[in-house]
Chains A and B, each alone.
Chain A
Amino acid sequence: MPEKKPVDTIQLIENYKNLVYHVIHRTVRDRESHEEIFQEVFLNVLESLPRFEGRSKLSTWIAAIAVHTCYKFIQKSGKQEQSVSFGDWLEAVPEPGVPSNIQENLERNDVRRRLERHLGELSPRYALPLSLFYMEGMTYQEIAEILDLPMGTVKSHLFRGLKELRKKIEGGEDGYLLGRRP
């Protein structure tokens, strides 16, 4: 059995911090809690690392820990019933309300931020797979492992997520985000 090499903790944090932040950002609405969850994820990762068997990519494994840490955080904060399973929770998280006018005004002139806002308005069950696939370059299979969902469900969420996002963009004044003239 090959001996496990000691891990450079600092390098590990540097390599995966954006992925972890990405997952938290798409999963937990309460922005105030993001930093706390970010720390908790890395503490959990380092605590569990000796048990990592290398059956999946390290990035997939870390993203799965991030997702479950978010889930536990939401459960702990009393926003969900304790009996709700992770899968049910992912399916049931409601889409957030429309942002306030103040926030809308601040973001009005920023195309990327507006698209980001539309993505943020999607339910996590759509926004998380979309981000992991198109922004993090993960495969269907990796996303299925992270979210503990069948691959068919992941593909369905990706497709519906794209359609929902398109509808949101086309529904407002943001058609030009898709390359059309305003």
Chain B
Amino acid sequence: MDICSDDALKLDYLNGLLSEKDRVRFEEHLAVCIECRLEIEGLRQTAAAVADLTPLSVPDAWTAAVKDRLAVPSRPAPVHRITNIFLYALISAGVTAVLVLLTWLVLGGTIQRWLPGLSTAALGITEPRAARIIDLIAMILSLYSLMLIPSIIDNIYLLVRKGGRRTSADSFAR
């Protein structure tokens, strides 16, 4: 390419980014081309003037406002975005119904009637006190499963509706 029209070469020369070989070649051209010499000189002055500009400084009030906004959780940062309340309610009702049914089946003894092999007697636990403890543990586990309902609902909702987006803003160390 003609050196006079090679803008990339000129820019790299201005910015001191040419290799030694290219720089020497370009300076040889400058020695014989008055137009390029004048252009480079003008652009060098312009670049120096820009580089010499005082950097912009941010008003203190802006920085303070950002810090305040981050210190106070004023920005709505939901764990996920619920965009379809009907779908969310439907999933909530379904999950709650399933878990309540399961709990009723376990606590009401229906499971034991359907699956007699799961009864404490069938498991070989004949001592009444040990059987009561096993039943108590089963009941506690069943009740504990109820505590998982909100999390289960959230995850099913996010699976069903991909638009639900988790954000990690809350968990980010401030």
A: residues with CB less than 8 A from B are: 6-7, 9-10, 13-14, 17-18, 20-22, 25, 35, 38-39, 42-43, 46-47, 49-50, 112, 115-116, 119, 130-131, 133-135, 152, 155-156, 158-160, 162-163, 165-166, 169-170, 177-179
Contact = CB atoms under 8 A, between A and B. Distances in A.
Contacts of B54: 112
Q: Is the interface of A mostly helix, strand, loop or mixed?
A: helix
B173 interface: yes
Contact of A18 (B56, B65, B172, B174): B56
Given A43-B70, A162-B43, 17 more contacts: A9-B67, A9-B70, A18-B58, A22-B55, A42-B66, A47-B77, A49-B172, A50-B172, A115-B50, A135-B53, A135-B55, A155-B11, A156-B7, A159-B10, A159-B11, A162-B47, A166-B46
B50 A130 contact: yes
Given A47-B168, A166-B42, A9 B174 contact: yes
B56 A134 contact: no
Interface of B: 7-8, 10-12, 14-15, 42-43, 45-47, 49-51, 53-59, 62-63, 65-67, 69-70, 75, 77, 167-169, 171-174
